[in-house]
Amino acid sequence: MEKIRGESIANGVSRMKSIITGIIFLTLTIPVLVIAGYQEGRDAYDRGDYHVALREFKTLAEKNDARGQYALAIMYDLGNGVKQNSKEAVKYYQLAAVQGFADAQNNLGVMYDQADGVDTDYKEAMKWYLLAAERGNRDAPNNIGVLHMIGLGVPRSFAKAHTWFTIAGARDSEAISNKNFVKRRLSPEQLAESQRLASEWRQNWLKK
């Protein structure tokens, strides 16, 4: 799901809405019973049995399991099986985000970015986007770039925006469009430096 920012130069920010993204790496360190509970919840969610999904995810969330907290946040965010409640979504995104769950970090950034369940706070949004990007969330680099492109919470910088749209890569159609917009406003020297910084960032973070 994407929410459009309302300024003509921006293609909006992206929010992960899948309950299964970015969780496989946790599996080996989680007790078997907890894994089974999550799988039961995920299977129930996929078949539309939100009553069972809610029960399983709540049980996990109460045990401070980041996957359960993230899944609950998605359910409240979308209103699947529960009454849509952005404040509850923020609560559970926050709980998962502080444990380093990248998709929750990105989504929490979107909530602050777009005043969804919380007051607008672009600096807080940027903080969570940066953490999400460092942990591999694919939407976060474009979201960071958009803030730089418009100048929300940071001074407007087409050069920094270009760097982050480059980091987002060729698989992000929004980032490609945004990159083409800012590219026309940069000198050859600025473009070369932006490419260098993007390559350096990838080397520093994507290998971790």
CATH of the domain at 179: 1.25.40.10
**Angle (CA) 13 140 84, round 5°:** 55
Taking Cα atoms as reference points, which of 71, 76, 46 lies closest to residue 56?
Answer: 71
Total count of domains within the chain: 1
**C-beta atoms surrounding 100 within 10 Å:** 14
Q: Kindly tell me if the per-residue pLDDT of 23 is higher than 90.
A: no
CA distance 144 to 172: 13
Residue 179 structure tokens = 């990159």
CA distance 1 to 15: 6
Residue 65 structure tokens = 């399991």
Query: Residue 145 is part of which domain span?
Result: 2-205
200 DSSP 8-state letter: H
User: Position of tokens 């009553």?
Assistant: 51
Q: What is the mean pLDDT of the chain?
A: 85
Q: What proportion of the chain, given as a percentage, has pLDDT over 70?
A: 82
pLDDT band of residue 111 (cuts 50, 70, 90) is very high
3-class state of residue 196 by DSSP:
helix
pLDDT band of residue 206 (cuts 50, 70, 90) is confident
CB of 143 closer than 8 Å to CB of 14: yes
CA distance 73 to 85: 9
Q: Kindly tell me if the per-residue pLDDT of 90 is higher than 90.
A: yes
**Residue 171: predicted pLDDT:** 86
